[in-house]
A and B are shown apart, each in its own frame.
Chain A
């Protein structure tokens, strides 16, 4: 990838990061406080993104979809354009919770094509990795509580629907409390896992050059993050509660467990 093309892509990723910040704030506080500036930055980012793609095509004299990095960049740009079109037509703000983080992560990964030589010091490498692990563990813990609360919500909802008055259900918290708990743990978990993923990707980029993109462990981590993102999206935009939310939370928890196991295997291999 040409140097200036990569630079424009990194500028675009930087601008898209404001969108990610907006999504995290929306999920945590459940109100759109940063949407307007984030949308402007997103539009501006799309412009730089376009410049990057065009320049890459001109430099290489072919359509820039040669490898996974270029394809990711193209996909991210396509998603951005589609979102801007939908927003212009329908003012569908709630989609941004899903689109902003997705576009940012895709662009970030695309911008990590050129390998960095090596770590400047071993302590920086280890600290980077520790932060990644701590955040990932915090995200899994939050997801665990989300799943438990979602299952209890489901049981409590069923009991109220069936109009049973069994003593066992008296110990469960009210639906409102469970819903609040789910929102908070889900929001916090999403923030943790997103930052953890970003740190992890950058770490892997420096550690393994460009070969990390094919790594199964990293793909599993991305899949978990994707499910988390979907969970957030369905909850914020469509207000998923009850059965659907519980099933999705359990699936996300299973994916997290799979990622965890995959990481454990990676640790063994590294040792």
Chain B
């Protein structure tokens, strides 16, 4: 059985080419059936905004590349449109690529978790359509395990790589769970809204919004089932607030060190997280010196993101090593699987000869006791096992080797398998 993966990704093709090859989810069953009609034994199609991957297996006597060409020609009009951008990977490279994609090592943002879900979705559709059930299924399910191992053994997916998500990560580092914590949004900047959205999604339920324009505050509060607060009152409310997101257009500082000293004293030193994503900044940087107050501006958050990206790259190296190890493991398993039918038929053949000969011999010696009969059984089994040991070891050793085919063929001929 041969395995081929063909595809385009954000690394090899611009979006106008990727969208040409993209297959809508509703069209996936038809595309899978078409691949099978063209001769593919199995097929899976992954189509996302960043990549299109078509994986198929074909019997040994067929050429999977030809099946793919005919599919691309039928499905997209021409295979040549993608020349220079499309990649074709077979056997080991195909498995390695699949493992890397599943583990998010080939993603635009390395370590992002969505790709694994998308791959599982593509596999589920193929399974429903009866398009998997052999080599490709083995490799796909292994890819999911590899991705899980990569996430467990490395910290690749643990660090935020966007400014707004970095704010959530920091809030979690300060408060632990965000459940029940309160957030005050000052101003109506887009970044502030995005950070508040992430915080809301992470469990922060009490959201207050203040703005010089009361109407705008009410509009934004409605987005989070929050409460609009009069701009003149927000400072008085701060002791009840855990997280402040400042993104107003004020040209000067609206929160000073003295304000925060009073607020933190009223909070009995309970920590407070201030996110200043306004430019010009809304919060005096000296506020960070107040004990229990953690102030991060845009540059600080970007610093966190950059450090996380670097850390992810380090983790990616470790993840690549895991992928390589897993590829070797799956290949050796597949090689053994390839010679397994030969081994089984050899064992059956020898057992058939042994049992026939033993039956004949016992018929000629009717006076043997049960114990003697059992001894003969054990003796013959031992002889047969010793005879089979050599060829079986050779079969396993030569599985998947370039010249192994001849050895396997020779053994099959010798034993009439």
Contacts and interface: CB of A to CB of B under 8 A. Distances in A.
Nearest to B307: A165
B288 A174 contact: no
Contacts of B416: none
A85 interface: no
Interface residues of B, number: 25
A174 B176 contact: yes
Interface-central residue, A157, A165, A173, by most chain B CB under 10 Å:
A165
A103 to B, nearest CB: 24
A238 B174 CA distance: 20
A238 B307 CA distance: 36
Interface in B305-328: 307-308, 311
B268 A175 contact: no
Which of B172, B268, B300, B307 has the largest number of chain A CB atoms within 10 A?
A: B268
A184 to B, nearest CB: 14
A170 interface: yes
Interface in A129-169: 156-157, 160-161, 163, 165, 167
Contacts of B294: 160-161
A40 interface: no
B148 to A, nearest CB: 20
Interface in A210-246: 238-243
Interface centre among A167, A180, A243 (most CB of B within 10 A): A167
Best-buried of A174, A177, A243 by chain B (most CB within 10 Å)? A174
A128 to B, nearest CB: 39
A180 B177 CA distance: 12
B158 interface: yes
Nearest to B268: A239
A165 B312 CA distance: 12
Contacts of A243: 291
B267 A239 contact: yes
A165 B158 CA distance: 13
Given A170-B155, A175-B271, A239-B270, A163 B176 contact: no
Say what secondary structure dominates the interface of chain A.
helix
A238 B269 contact: yes
B296 interface: yes
A238 B311 contact: no
B174 A176 contact: yes
B32 interface: no
B144 interface: no
Nearest to A174: B176
B174 A160 contact: yes
A165 B308 contact: yes
Given A160-B294, A238-B268, A239-B268, A176 B176 contact: yes
B174 A174 contact: yes
A246 to B, nearest CB: 12
A243 to B, nearest CB: 8
B311 A165 contact: yes
Contacts of A239: 267-270
Given A174-B173, A239-B270, A241-B292, 13 more contacts: A156-B173, A160-B174, A160-B294, A163-B296, A163-B300, A165-B307, A165-B311, A174-B176, A175-B271, A176-B271, A180-B176, A241-B270, A241-B271
Instruction: Give 7 nearest A-B pairs by CB, closest first.
Output: A239-B268, A176-B176, A165-B307, A239-B269, A174-B176, A176-B175, A177-B176
